Structure 1
Amino acid sequence: MKTEEDIILLVKKDKWMMDILKAARTLYLPDWWICAGFVRSKIWDTLHGFQERTMMADIDVIYFDDQFTEKLEEKKWEKKLRSIVPDIPWSVKNQARMHIINYLPPYTCSVDAISKFPETATALGLQLDREDNVILTAPCGINDVINLVLKPTPFFKDNKQLAKIYKERIRKKNWKSIWNNLIIHPFDID
């Protein structure tokens, strides 16, 4: 796996992932993406030669709508997704309000929010267009995820408070216990 096209092809061949993307598309949310572990875990599972998919705590659907920023709106969308695909742990978050929760300046769109995720390998998103073409966004690039490198996004690395959050995530998530070939950037080690 070397290019964005390789990642897109990997996703297109995965019926489960395509079904998840199709379900999310039915909501017609503005500026929507399925992101983070949904993409990263597939890549890391493939690079580790896993035959079984690694379980995920949730499927992160994000969107950007600065007109309706109530948390109840997100819950409504989660309920709708559960009615379409009930066995999925859906998590829907409007990025127009998430900056407040994370004590950050406002995001301008969903891709801006993705660029400010904690890890470069997690700063990924997928969506489908109307013709079922898979679209990948990788505002921090794909080099780290395809090379099994775990390091903070520039946004987290350059902020001492966020760097602490990042380091705690690395400790709690313990991804190396699942994907043992991960290379944790020296910045991450206390």
Structure 2
Amino acid sequence: MTPNEQQIIEWITQDEARMQALRAVKTLGLEDECLAAGFVRNLVWDRVHGYEQTTPLNDIDVVYFNPHDLNPLTDLDYEQRLNAIVALPWSVKNQARMHLKYGRAPYRSTRDAISYWVETETAIGVRLDEHDALELVAPLGVDSLFDFTISANPQHGQPEVLLARAEQKGWITRWPKLRIEI
């Protein structure tokens, strides 16, 4: 494990809200699941900016991979079940069907699916393994999270989407040391 990966694991372990969310998701027994995107990214950006308070968990992306049940209503059921455990802004998505949204070949796993996400820094997730240890899912690595960048993922192939997302989400306002790399 790299020093940056170890640092992320340590920060998540110290964040009770994130640990509570991870424990809640584990109770569902999803296949190849992780809490991803801003769940990890925002925490790292908060820490490298030296913020004492972390950005609120305003959208918790739970991704998993089940090619045997592609019904979007299943995701809604999981969201309701999670809300019964802890009321948070859950967004559950089966990555086995998300390739359809982008006209791509079917993904092979959650790791494969998130390797196509818009920004390199967003393509990261974390889960509790069978021993309740944190495991990162980072097909594009984690180092750019520490470099104050928002970089276009070449596998996504639409850098204009990154620009729109950065503007809409107010990333540069929230984390002013960040710079966009297309």
Instruction: State whether TM-score is above 0.5.
Output: yes
Residue 28 (structure 1) aligns with: 29
Counterpart amino acid of residue 167 in structure 1: L
Equivalent residues of 1:2, 1:146 under 8 A apart: no
CA distance in 2, matches of 1:56, 1:184: 23
| Percent identity between the two aligned chains | 38
Residue 171 (structure 1) aligns with: 167
Aligned residues: 181
What displacement does 1:95 show?
0.3
Residue 131 (structure 1) aligns with: 131
Residue 85 (structure 2) aligns with: 84
> Residues 90-136 of structure 1: CA distance to partner in whole angstroms, max 9, x if unpaired?
00000011111233221110000111110011110000013220001
**Structure 1 ranges of 4+ moved more than 6 A:** none
> Residues 128-155 of structure 1: CA distance to partner in whole angstroms, max 9, x if unpaired?
0132200012111112111111111121
What displacement does 1:2 show?
4.6
What displacement does 1:168 show?
1.8
Q: Provide the secondary structure at the position in 2 that maps to 1:96.
A: coil
> Residues 24-58 of structure 1: CA distance to partner in whole angstroms, max 9, x if unpaired?
00000000010000000010111112122212431
Q: Which runs of 5+ in 2 are unaligned?
A: none
* TM-score of the pair, normalised by structure 2: 0.94
CA distance in 2, matches of 1:19, 1:54: 16
Q: Provide the secondary structure at the position in 2 that maps to 1:181.
A: coil
* TM-score of the pair, normalised by structure 1: 0.90
Residue 120 (structure 1) aligns with: 120
CA distance in 2, matches of 1:84, 1:60: 16
Counterpart amino acid of residue 79 in structure 1: Q
Q: Provide the secondary structure at the position in 1 that maps to 2:106.
A: coil
CA distance in 1, matches of 2:41, 2:139: 14
